[in-house]
Each structure stands twice: as structure tokens, then as C-alpha cells.
Chains A and B, each alone.
Chain A
């Protein structure tokens, strides 16, 4: 399969069998070749200037023309050699300072020496990649912010987590990685189904998905009010009809149809694997006749298969609903394009007391409102609105400095811990007392400020 990356195309076949972290060179045919450790050719006499007082930008320092370089490239000459040619034909290279020479070589190498390293997927790699390449798809959730979410949410093996995200499944994948297949996750999804494009990039083993459940956001209200039933489940009328039909049918019929689907694939597999053996072929043709007879049945079976899928989906949904109904989740993670307040006010109902929750939002203002509404609702403490800044550094001998500051753009987090909510109005006076007691001093101070 042909893959295009950074204006290069190549086939991955040659990369199989190498360990992760192997660096490859892209050859002209699109094949990959493991790159050997290159001894830096530093043997040549190093000549360098001390400053740039005599270096004039006349645009003529490079003696090779565009066409020359293109010709070199077309000849399939190694990138390393092209870089060497460029250096030799640069009149100013020798006058540049050692550091500038270093920088020049690095820049040219980046352009002409196409090397790629194949690494194992992880939250680190994928979240960095998504933030750099597709920030819109993950609501501009920067990787350090995601790291905070995982820690603030105390994500670990054995948890029963509720995750509501519209980040292509990246947040879900990060939570799954930290839980290592232990415990359960209920993913709340908007619309027709959960998006897990990024989740699939992690390459999780199959058992990780055994305890991954999903539940439609649109059914949360009915679940909370107790009116949730599976009858009302399918969103579109077509599905509705199917389910009704199915619920009228006998359970026995369902079981037989289930068995049939189990057998069917194996039969098909046999068909495919033994076509060369004559005896089998005979058998098959005999079977074929039977198959034709059953052709009309097939249509029915298609409908049945649909039913089975429906039925399985419904079973999974019921499981998820049952898990949620216990209202003892170990945490809540929200990172979506929706307004966080209604999500939080509803979904926190499913979380046990003394458990952390974290809400991500690209913007601060909705979280300010969310903070206020949660305070009014009660049942939460230690509310914290925060943001992280990330600064990368260049560390080189005598050339160390910050690379860039990433302020803003990484999003904001609101986190807190659930506690047992006071029941009845008798305690409400008490909780009001707390509200007054706690922030009143702050308020007073602030109120004074504008004066």
C-alpha cells in the first residue's frame, strides 16, 4: 500500500520485522531502507568565521542553480551528497560562524535527507501529533492539558470511568491506555454513534474493548428520570420498526438465528480455503445447489442479521444503562465541543462520592459559568479552574534558550471532587452557611477592589 507523508511516498513492506524506533531512508522507488548510524564527516578541516560583518546578502552565494539541484535530485543522488554539494558551492559557508554552519547543515539535511523513524503509538505520540496536525478535530486540546486530565481524573486500572468526548476518540484512547484493560469505560456519545478514529490508532488488543461501553447522550435524561426503556431506543423510524418486529418474535427464534450466524462464517471460510481440492469442490457444488434453494431464505437471513445486530446493540446498550444506573462511577472526563454545564450537571449524577471529575473546554468563559452552576448545585468540592503553559527549550552547548511559548490555545480545565449531596431542604440552610462562610472573605475583598 502506498503511503504519502511529508511530500514523500513509499511502501511500508520493508519496515516489517524491524524494531520500533528504527530509522529508514526513503529511496527513489518508494522503498524503505534501514539507515545505518552515520559517522559525521567532521574530518575535513573546519574553517569558520567569527562574525557576519563581511557577509552580504546578495543572493549569489549559492553557485548551484535551481535546475542544477533538480538535476542532482533526478539522478537519484543521495541526499547526503546533495547537501555536501550545496556546502561546497556556497561561497559564504566558510565565513559563517561555526554555529551558523551547523544550522545551515541542519536545515539542508532536513530538506534533502528524507529519513523517517517508525515508532510505537502511544498517548504521547498521538496527542502531540493530533495537536500539531489536526487541532480542530480534538478541540485544540494540547497534549500537556490531556496529561493533566489523566492525572486530575486519577485514571488508573480498575476504574469505572464515564467519558464524554468529541476529540476523535483521542481522550478515550488515552484513558484506555492508562486503564490497561482493567475496569470499565462508558463512552457517552452524541448523534448516531461514538467516533473512535484516533482510538483505533493506538492498536489496542481486543480484550481492551470488552469492557468499553457506549451510551447515547440523548438518552441520559430518560435514564435519569427512570423512563428509559429499550423500546424507545433506535433513533430512526426504520430501526424502530425492526425492533418492534423483533420484540414480537420469539426468543427461541433469536437463539437459532444466532447459531446460524455463528456457523455461516466458518462455512464461508472453508469455501475460500479449499477451492483447489477436487473432492471438496464437488461437495461445494452440491452444497451450492442447496444454497440456491436457500436463496430466497437468504433475504430473510439478511433481515435476520440486521435483527441480530440490532439485538446485540441493544444488549450492549442495556449493559451500559445498567452500569450507569448504579451511579457509582469512579470519575468523569468531559472534553467536547458542547457547552460543558448541562453535560456536567447531568453526568455527575452517575458518579460516586469522593471521586474526581475533569472538564476540558477550549474557552474559559463556559467553565466560569460551569463553576458557578456547580457551586449552586452542591455535591462538589475543591473546584479548580486551571490552564497549563508549555515551553520547549533548545539545549545546545552555548546555545540554550526557550524555543517557543505556547500560551493559550491549549484549553482550560475545570476539576473537582464529588461529595455526598445533602438530601432534603433541611440541610440547605447549612450548605448555604458553608457557601457564605467559604468565599465570603474573598468576595468582600474583591468587592472592595473596584472602589
Chain B
């Protein structure tokens, strides 16, 4: 296993994702002799995990079972231990594309935070690219280093423990792209510019507040960045449901109802919840929004150095 390379079977030392069903999952570090408790019972790593194929169904002691998944940056993002606020895959996707990242890209990032974005960046630039990530919080920097080692990607990333606003990224004229997720990105724009290659590159800054965006945009303009563009991306997830709507009784004859072409092709799914009423129902599939309110994560400001 590695976060940048698929493997077939689960090995000692791997990080695997235990999938319990319906968005409920957690990561485990696979180790001989270790056991993991789930609500379906115990998983014994030596017998239940090691040597099995990723994607296998594993039966736990209580007879319940779980699926064991190969780790990906996306699954990691959903399961990682939070040390800070993290970026989720929706934002990460657009960041990756707008920064034009691909195998071989050199990227600078600050701050490392919980490493959610870092894993995705490393995945995309591997095997020939590199990530230089700067985190001013010493413990977080240490923890990130440890995780990268565990996940088999340490050769693709350099973690530096310093203040990016004061000391920059520790590299100059090497990066194809720079990503900033810090409280005062405008103070790091100059360092970002010098970290980028002489022939140019892309920059992105993530900020929750519009005031931060304004200051950042001004700084970018001042440093000669072009193509400055701010956007926001929102994810809407839909639950797929079979909905039945009751037909109102308007005093019409029953035959009229059946002739209007209601879809009763799926009656086997479950009986009408309103069976006590004589009236029919209409069933249909619908994508129902999960949440009523779409949250705000942050504004993404992109620009080009050329």
C-alpha cells in the first residue's frame, strides 16, 4: 500500500480504511497481533486483514462485517485526525485543476495543517514531483512528517517548520504552483512569488473571509500577478430516495386515478406507508438534498505569475 500507488493485498504496516456502511468509516494501521474494535465486533489484524485483498468483506466476531478499503487521499480526508480545520475534496479538486498540477509538478504549500490537502497534492505530483510544505506549529509539523512516513510518501515531501510570512518556503525559483491557507496570505505573496519558477507559475490562496480576499488580491496585483480570479465552490449531495406522494381525494372515481399514468412499477419496494387510506399513491425516485443549507468553506483566489 501507498497513497500514491495501488496495492492488491493488505500488508503489515499499511493504513487501511474500515468501512462500516453509510459514510461510517475509520482508518486503521495494520499490525500483526493487533485487534480493532468495531460495533460489529473485533477485527484481528493477523488473521482478518493481513494477506487479504483490498475491497474484501471481513467478518467480525459478532457476525457483522465490514469492508476494508485501499487508502486514497479522498478517504483519508474523510477520516484523518483533525489538528486544524481541513480542506475537503470539493475544494481540493478545483485547487488541483486550477493550479494545473500533474506528475512532476513542484508545489509549495502553507500551512500543512492536518495534511488533508498535502496528501492530495502528493498523489497528483508523484512520482517525479515534490511538495514543499511549511507549518509554523512545531507539533503539527512533526505529526505531518510522521504521517507522510507511515503512508509511504516521505520521499515526495519536505516539511519545514517555520513562519512562511517571515521566512518564506525555504526554496526559490523552483515551484510550478503555490498554495496558501494561512490567516494573512497577503504577507506571504512576496515569498510565494520568489518560490515560483522564473518562467512563471500559478498561485492559490484560500480564505474564509472576503476582507482577507481583498487584501490578498491587492497584494497579488502589487507583485505583478495576473489573471487574478476569485471563486467559491459548493458541493450538493443528494440522497436517492423513493418517494411516495399520496393522491388527494377529490371525489373522483377510482378508475380516473389509474388512467393518469402513475408509476406503480415499484410496488415491491415497500408497502404504502399510508395503507390505512383507500387512496393510491404515486411513487417516484428523487434526489433529495442532504442538508438544507450549503455551507461556506472559503474563497479561492487564483492568479498567474508570468
Which A residues lie at the B interface, using CB under 8 A?
19-22, 122-124, 127, 143-144, 146-148, 150-152, 154, 156-159, 177-182, 328, 330, 352-356, 364-365, 367-369, 371-372, 381-395, 397, 400, 402, 412, 417-420, 422, 430, 434, 437-439, 442-443, 446-451
Which B residues lie at the A interface, using CB under 8 A?
4-6, 8, 19, 21-23, 53-57, 65, 67-70, 72-74, 89-90, 92-94, 96-98, 100, 102-104, 120, 123-124, 126-128, 199-200, 210, 213-214, 217-218, 226, 228-246, 270, 273-274, 281, 285-287, 294, 299, 301, 304, 306
> In the bound complex, do residue A154 and residue B57 qualify as a contact, i.e. CB atoms below 8 Å apart?
no
Contacting A123 at CB < 8 Å: which of B55, B97, B200, B286? B97
CB closest residue in chain A, given B59 = A430
* Cα–Cα, bound, A442→B270 (Å): 13
Question: Which residues of the partner chain A approach B234 to less than 8 Å between Cβ atoms?
Answer: 388-391
> In the bound complex, do residue A393 and residue B231 qualify as a contact, i.e. CB atoms below 8 Å apart?
yes
Q: A151-B74, A151-B93 are in contact. Are A144 and B236 (CB under 8 A)?
A: no
Closest 10 CB pairs of A and B: A353-B55, A180-B103, A21-B306, A354-B55, A447-B273, A354-B54, A151-B93, A147-B97, A393-B230, A147-B93
CB distance from A71 to the nearest CB of B (A): 34
> In the bound complex, do residue A178 and residue B74 qualify as a contact, i.e. CB atoms below 8 Å apart?
no
CB closest residue in chain B, given A158 = B5
> In the bound complex, do residue A386 and residue B273 qualify as a contact, i.e. CB atoms below 8 Å apart?
no
> In the bound complex, do residue A388 and residue B233 qualify as a contact, i.e. CB atoms below 8 Å apart?
yes
Question: Which residues of the partner chain A approach B21 to less than 8 Å between Cβ atoms?
Answer: 381, 434, 437-438
> In the bound complex, do residue B273 and residue A448 qualify as a contact, i.e. CB atoms below 8 Å apart?
yes
Q: A19-B199, A353-B56, A434-B21 are in contact. Are A386 and B235 (CB under 8 A)?
A: yes
* Cα–Cα, bound, A152→B74 (Å): 7
CB closest residue in chain B, given A391 = B232
CB distance from B86 to the nearest CB of A (A): 15
Interface majority SS (helix, strand, loop, mixed), chain A: mixed
CB distance from A95 to the nearest CB of B (A): 28
Contacting A388 at CB < 8 Å: which of B127, B199, B235? B235
CB closest residue in chain B, given A401 = B210
Q: Can you list 26 A-B contacts (CB < 8 A)? A: A20-B199, A124-B97, A148-B93, A154-B72, A156-B124, A157-B103, A157-B127, A178-B124, A179-B103, A352-B8, A353-B54, A364-B287, A385-B237, A386-B236, A388-B235, A393-B231, A395-B217, A395-B301, A400-B210, A400-B213, A418-B55, A443-B270, A447-B270, A448-B273, A450-B281, A451-B274
Q: A158-B5, A368-B287, A450-B281 are in contact. Are A352 and B74 (CB under 8 A)?
A: no
* Cα–Cα, bound, A33→B240 (Å): 56
Q: A20-B200, A158-B127, A354-B55 are in contact. Are A385 and B238 (CB under 8 A)?
A: yes
* Cα–Cα, bound, A446→B200 (Å): 54
* Cα–Cα, bound, A397→B214 (Å): 7
CB closest residue in chain A, given B234 = A389
Question: Which residues of the partner chain B approach A353 to less than 8 Å between Cβ atoms?
Answer: 53-56
Q: A157-B103, A182-B103 are in contact. Are A420 and B238 (CB under 8 A)?
A: no
Contacting A442 at CB < 8 Å: which of B200, B241, B273? B241
CB distance from B89 to the nearest CB of A (A): 6
Question: Which residues of the partner chain A approach B299 to less than 8 Å between Cβ atoms?
Answer: 393
Question: Which residues of the partner chain A approach B72 to less than 8 Å between Cβ atoms?
Answer: 154, 356
> In the bound complex, do residue B4 and residue A156 qualify as a contact, i.e. CB atoms below 8 Å apart?
yes
> In the bound complex, do residue B94 and residue A384 qualify as a contact, i.e. CB atoms below 8 Å apart?
no
CB distance from B220 to the nearest CB of A (A): 10
> In the bound complex, do residue A446 and residue B126 qualify as a contact, i.e. CB atoms below 8 Å apart?
no
Q: A154-B123, A178-B102, A422-B57 are in contact. Are A393 and B232 (CB under 8 A)?
A: yes
Contacting B304 at CB < 8 Å: which of A21, A372, A434? A21
Contacting A180 at CB < 8 Å: which of B55, B97, B104, B274? B104
Question: Which residues of the partner chain A approach B306 to less than 8 Å between Cβ atoms?
Answer: 19-22
CB closest residue in chain B, given A422 = B57
Q: A178-B103, A420-B53 are in contact. Are A450 and B243 (CB under 8 A)?
A: yes
> In the bound complex, do residue B93 and residue A447 qualify as a contact, i.e. CB atoms below 8 Å apart?
no
* Cα–Cα, bound, A446→B234 (Å): 26
CB closest residue in chain A, given B94 = A147
> In the bound complex, do residue B55 and residue A352 qualify as a contact, i.e. CB atoms below 8 Å apart?
yes
> In the bound complex, do residue A364 and residue B238 qualify as a contact, i.e. CB atoms below 8 Å apart?
yes
Question: Which residues of the partner chain A approach B97 to less than 8 Å between Cβ atoms?
Answer: 123-124, 127, 143, 146-147, 150
> In the bound complex, do residue A144 and residue B243 qualify as a contact, i.e. CB atoms below 8 Å apart?
no
Question: Which residues of the partner chain B approach A124 to less than 8 Å between Cβ atoms?
Answer: 97-98, 100
Question: Which residues of the partner chain A approach B6 to less than 8 Å between Cβ atoms?
Answer: 158-159, 330, 352, 355
* Cα–Cα, bound, A364→B236 (Å): 12
Q: A123-B97, A392-B229 are in contact. Are A385 and B57 (CB under 8 A)?
A: no
Question: Which residues of the partner chain B approach A182 to less than 8 Å between Cβ atoms?
Answer: 103, 127
CB closest residue in chain A, given B244 = A450
Question: Which residues of the partner chain A approach B68 to less than 8 Å between Cβ atoms?
Answer: 354
* Cα–Cα, bound, A395→B207 (Å): 13
Question: Which residues of the partner chain A approach B53 to less than 8 Å between Cβ atoms?
Answer: 353-354, 420
> In the bound complex, do residue B200 and residue A21 qualify as a contact, i.e. CB atoms below 8 Å apart?
yes
* Cα–Cα, bound, A179→B6 (Å): 14
CB distance from B283 to the nearest CB of A (A): 10
Question: Which residues of the partner chain A approach B294 to less than 8 Å between Cβ atoms?
Answer: 389
* Cα–Cα, bound, A364→B281 (Å): 23
Chain A CB within 10 Å, residue with most, of B5, B241, B274: B241
Contacting A420 at CB < 8 Å: which of B22, B55, B301? B55
> In the bound complex, do residue B103 and residue A446 qualify as a contact, i.e. CB atoms below 8 Å apart?
no
